[in-house]
């Protein structure tokens, strides 16, 4: 990593006065699953030569941290399937977590490799992780993920909790597929000390189904939950799209990520780095800055200038809409931008 070059320490503030303090890093576009809402069956992945090296990822994270990023989330694709991923986590942890430069290093994972890595993640300073889980029914799990095994993921979640990681479950609400499982999932999560966040399907990339057939508004879900439970909004704000409710009967919390039925952009504090070094300032817009080219062509000064450009380009909000036969809002899949 380039440690001698001088980087700017100017805070990252966009044209709307929002401070960028949260960086999500997709470390690979590859995955061992092919979830129906995320990928097509015959996904073609990027050649490995196009993917940033660990050194380059460290360089980019370093530039962001110097300019005020306090939280880094690794995602993908499936971050834990990238070869030697633990070496990268070791490096980021030593560079920034152990030194107190960031408050949090975390991960979003499908859980398939968690049993193998959970203890080491805790040793490296991770405190909580997000695990995606859309159903507790083994057959349905196999159908949604096209190649995942539920027992493997449940083992991973157990290992994570035993190692001391707080686990938040992410569940994409899919009409006619898992909408009847939201209550059982919430009861299971809360009785095992886990939070649950429901995600509205977003129109990212072409998938096999027409998304208007599977899109379920979380407003409907919340109304249905309110018939059985006492929901109280809680103030927890992450600068992200989730809004949280306390459930009196279970003493747990449930989050709602509602990009389509609620606009969350005014408090957005995040940007996303793809595994090829493209920086997207918004999940639902196509504007991007090529950090890999900036870094390779002009070194640290180029990288800094690219971050300044990114702040000017960060849009006010997204334009998601799901209507029958409408094209995806953006062509890239979630696995490319990083969820």
Ligand X SMILES: C[S@@+](CC[C@H](N)C(=O)[O-])C[C@H]1O[C@@H](n2cnc3c(N)ncnc32)[C@H](O)[C@@H]1O
The answer to the question of whether 37 is labelled as a binding residue is: yes
The three-point CA angle 190-150-83 to 5° equals 105
Residues between 299 and 338 that touch ligand X (CB under 6 A): 334-335
DSSP single-letter state for residue 173: E
Residues between 27 and 66 that touch ligand X (CB under 6 A): 31, 37-38
Instruction: Look at residues 108, 112, 101, 105 and name the one whose alpha carbon lies nearest to residue 126.
Output: 105
* CB-nearer residue toward ligand SF4: 113 or 258: 113
Q: What are the tokens at 161? A: 């909790």
Whole-Å CA distances, 271 to 55, 154, 179, 189, 333:
20, 30, 30, 29, 16
The owner of tokens 């083992």 is: 155
Instruction: Tell me: does residue 280 bind ligand X (CB under 6 A).
Output: no
Candidates 32-40, 49-57, 185-193, 316-324; binding stretch for ligand SF4 (CB under 6 A): 32-40
Three-class secondary structure of residue 171 per DSSP: strand
CB of 39 to ligand SF4, least distance (A): 5
* CB-nearer residue toward ligand X: 300 or 339: 339
Instruction: Tell me: does residue 110 bind ligand SF4 (CB under 6 A).
Output: yes
Three-class secondary structure of residue 278 per DSSP: strand
**Of these partners, ligand X, ligand SF4, none, which one is at the site of residue 201 (CB under 5 to 8 Å by kind)?**
ligand X
Whole-angstrom distance, CA of residue 152 vs CA of residue 198: 22
Of residues 12, 20, 25, 38, which one binds ligand SF4 by CB under 6 A? 38
The answer to the question of whether 38 is labelled as a binding residue is: yes
Residues between 190 and 209 that touch ligand X (CB under 6 A): 199, 201-202, 204
Of residues 178, 335, 336, 337, which one binds ligand SF4 by CB under 6 A? 335
The three-point CA angle 203-231-133 to 5° equals 45
Whole-angstrom distance, CA of residue 305 vs CA of residue 298: 9
The answer to the question of whether 275 is labelled as a binding residue is: no
Interface pattern 185-224 for ligand SF4 (x via CB under 6 A): ----------------------------------------
Computed on alpha carbons and rounded to an integer, the radius of gyration of the chain in Å comes to: 19
The answer to the question of whether 202 is labelled as a binding residue is: yes
**Of these partners, ligand SF4, ligand X, none, which one is at the site of residue 34 (CB under 5 to 8 Å by kind)?**
ligand SF4
Instruction: Tell me: does residue 172 bind ligand X (CB under 6 A).
Output: yes
Whole-angstrom distance, CA of residue 88 vs CA of residue 116: 16
**Of these partners, ligand SF4, ligand X, none, which one is at the site of residue 54 (CB under 5 to 8 Å by kind)?**
none
Helices (H), the chain: 54-66, 85-92, 114-123, 138-145, 150-163, 182-191, 211-214, 218-228, 291-313, 334-337
Three-class secondary structure of residue 169 per DSSP: strand
* CB-nearer residue toward ligand X: 109 or 274: 109
Instruction: Tell me: does residue 34 bind ligand SF4 (CB under 6 A).
Output: yes
Of residues 7, 22, 33, 64, which one binds ligand SF4 by CB under 6 A? 33
DSSP codes of every residue in 119-131: HHHHHTT--EEEE
Instruction: Tell me: does residue 258 bind ligand X (CB under 6 A).
Output: no
Q: Kindly tell me the sign of the dihedral angle through the C-alpha atoms of 281, 337, 71, 304.
A: negative
The answer to the question of whether 338 is labelled as a binding residue is: no
Instruction: Look at residues 95, 121, 97, 96 and name the one whose alpha carbon lies nearest to residue 109.
Output: 121
Q: Which residues are annotated as a binding site?
A: 24, 31, 35, 37-38, 73, 77, 108, 132, 168, 202, 265, 268, 270-272, 282
Binding site for ligand SF4 (CB under 6 A): 31, 33-35, 38-39, 76-78, 110, 132, 335
Q: Which residues are annotated as a binding site for GTP?
A: 24, 73, 108, 168, 270-272
């Amino acid at each position: 990593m380039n440690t001698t070059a001088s980087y700017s320490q100017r805070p990252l503030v966009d044209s709307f006065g929002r401070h960028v303090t949260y960086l999500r890093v997709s470390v690979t576009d590859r995955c061992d699953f092919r979830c129906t809402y995320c990928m097509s069956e015959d996904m073609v992945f990027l050649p490995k030569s196009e993917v940033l090296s660990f050194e380059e990822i460290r360089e980019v994270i370093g530039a962001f941290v110097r300019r005020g990023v306090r939280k880094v989330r690794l995602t993908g694709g499936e971050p834990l399937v990238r070869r030697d991923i633990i070496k990268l986590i070791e490096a980021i942890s030593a560079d920034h977590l152990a030194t107190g430069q960031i408050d949090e290093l975390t991960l979003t994972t499908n859980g398939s490799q968690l049993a193998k890595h959970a203890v080491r993640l805790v040793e490296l300073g991770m405190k909580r992780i997000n695990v995606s889980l859309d159903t507790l029914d083994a057959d349905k799990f196999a159908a949604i993920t096209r190649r995942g095994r539920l027992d493997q993921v449940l083992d991973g979640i157990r290992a994570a909790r035993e190692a001391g990681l707080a686990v938040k479950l992410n569940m994409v609400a899919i009409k006619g597929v898992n909408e009847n499982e939201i209550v059982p999932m919430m009861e299971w999560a809360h009785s095992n000390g886990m939070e649950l966040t429901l995600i509205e399907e977003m129109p990212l990339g072409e998938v096999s189904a027409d998304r208007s057939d599977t899109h379920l508004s979380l407003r409907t879900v919340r109304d249905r939950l309110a018939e059985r439970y006492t929901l109280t909004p809680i103030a927890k704000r992450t600068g992200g799209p989730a809004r949280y409710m306390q459930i009196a009967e279970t003493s747990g919390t449930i989050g709602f990520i509602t990009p389509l039925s609620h606009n969350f952009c005014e408090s957005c504090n995040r940007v996303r780095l793809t595994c090829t070094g493209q920086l997207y300032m918004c999940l639902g817009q196509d504007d991007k800055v090529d950090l890999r080219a900036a870094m390779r062509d002009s070194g640290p000064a180029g990288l800094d200038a690219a971050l300044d450009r990114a702040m000017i380009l960060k849009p006010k909000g997204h334009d998601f809409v799901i209507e029958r036969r409408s094209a995806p809002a953006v062509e890239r899949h979630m696995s490319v931008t990083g969820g």
